[in-house]
Structure 1
Amino acid sequence: MHCGTTVGVHGILDRHPWLASGDQGELRASVLDLALVRADAHGWHAPYGWQTRAGKKLFRVPDRWLDCDKGGDWSGRNQIGELAWMRADVPEDARQPRLPVLPMTRTLVDALDRVGTVTFTALRACLPLQITAGDATDDLDDMREWFSLASPSVAVDIQVTVSAVLSRAWESPDEAARVRDAVQERLGAAAEAEIASSADISRMPGRARTRSPPEGARRTAHLVCHAREWTPDVAVWLVDVTGDALRATGHSAPVVVTVSSAAPTPGVSRTGGSGG
């Protein structure tokens, strides 16, 4: 098992009045546990496995995941923070082309939606690319067609940042452009990706740090994607596209991909740093 896939949902949570009092830590733990029960009912989550005579642990469906830690911060009021995060086990020998970013994100967002109104600002995912393999083309084609249904008259700027441990692959000054080209190929006409300018980077909103980023990770690529909408599902799509583009360009080390709304949220403050 590889306990290294982490997803964090960032934003502002305005809890329902009837849930605003009491121990927020106890409430958060209870709601996240309930959300995982729902995830299992949907077939998104593997609550247990079993061992062969040789001691190898097996799951009923090989591409499922098992949470190994979770949490979040619901204490801030009108503050952007990491509202909910989850770290999961993924079987190393499953070798699926996509990591379970979508079901993990939906589980967290569903939990947050049950307790209040969420202003979603960013999704951050730690992707252990070394345990993925296979062809995700069909999945990404379907996702692109889905998001192409949104109105083309709407333009939303979304920032996509890749943080990784520096390696020989990132020494080339053209590497970020190669990744951008691979991202654009997967986005098709549904969105447009470009290398972020220095002005884009300087106005990047601060975000709380995610759990357990790769040690020594530094920002290696920063893109601006012009999409048609901003939702958690769009953020998942851009994370999946970026992860697949990195694999296609020869990257197989863990990376952190952060997808965030480029526009600041008026009237709120932010907690935490940019997190690299």
Structure 2
Amino acid sequence: MTKTWMITGTSSGFGKELAQVVAKQAGTNLVATARKEADLAYLDAFDATRVAKVIMDVTNEEQVQAGVAVAKDKFGGIDVLVNNAGLGYFGTIEESNEKDVRQMFEVNVFGLGNVTKSVLPIMRVQKQGVIINISSALGVTSLPTLGWYSATKFAVEGYSNALRQEVAPLGIQVMNVEPSGARTKWNAGKTAPVEIADYSKFAGMVDGASNGVTQAPGSPELIAKTIFDMATDNKVVPDHLPLGTFATDGMKKELTNTLKDVDKYHDISVGIDQ
């Protein structure tokens, strides 16, 4: 059975790698989106009968609906949706630029919601589908200078957990992918310089985070291949797929610390019930 994948944000990073993995596979169709047509030129190397290039800003509802229509008209439906489009941001909470932060939320959270909302009617009719939301290890734990970015990914986690329960009876699955740092252009995200003296110790962290992503141990190629295999080799996908040492160790530590607090304050917590 031929499966159609729709992947947002395929101009670089995970999205581009995954788009190429899908395009190379026999028995798959690809709908790849990006904001600029030139960023999709690399797909000209693949079979045009199985690849659709779509110009899409995920915050633009008209473009999103038009892109989903292309997928339906050309391939008859969408079996796998990968919400990958996203922005990064580096800076302490207090020093972050509100306009830039709001724009990041528009893309990382509301844009993801726009695409999902437009695809769900197709999957409901099909009575099947897989939605893969590219979250982050920072959607479960967090670090100084990455608080606002982390907040968008925590939002994606909560959104996905609720959506999963709503659509499971309809045959639709939702998987959150939580990658660690990888060698991508995510470091092109905006940066708020550390100018408040009280936060001076974090200046190096801002520079390290924004400049160090391309030096990260995670392989975009292996991440893309793992995501593809997980969605195609399993009838049931996991709710969460942490990828990389930082993701697995960070999630374990965060969950362990949370459980300690739950146990420590258990009597106080349940004591408020009457």
Richer in strand (by share) = 1
Structure whose alpha-carbon radius of gyration is higher: 2
Higher relative contact order by CA 8 Å / sep ≥ 6: 1 or 2? 1
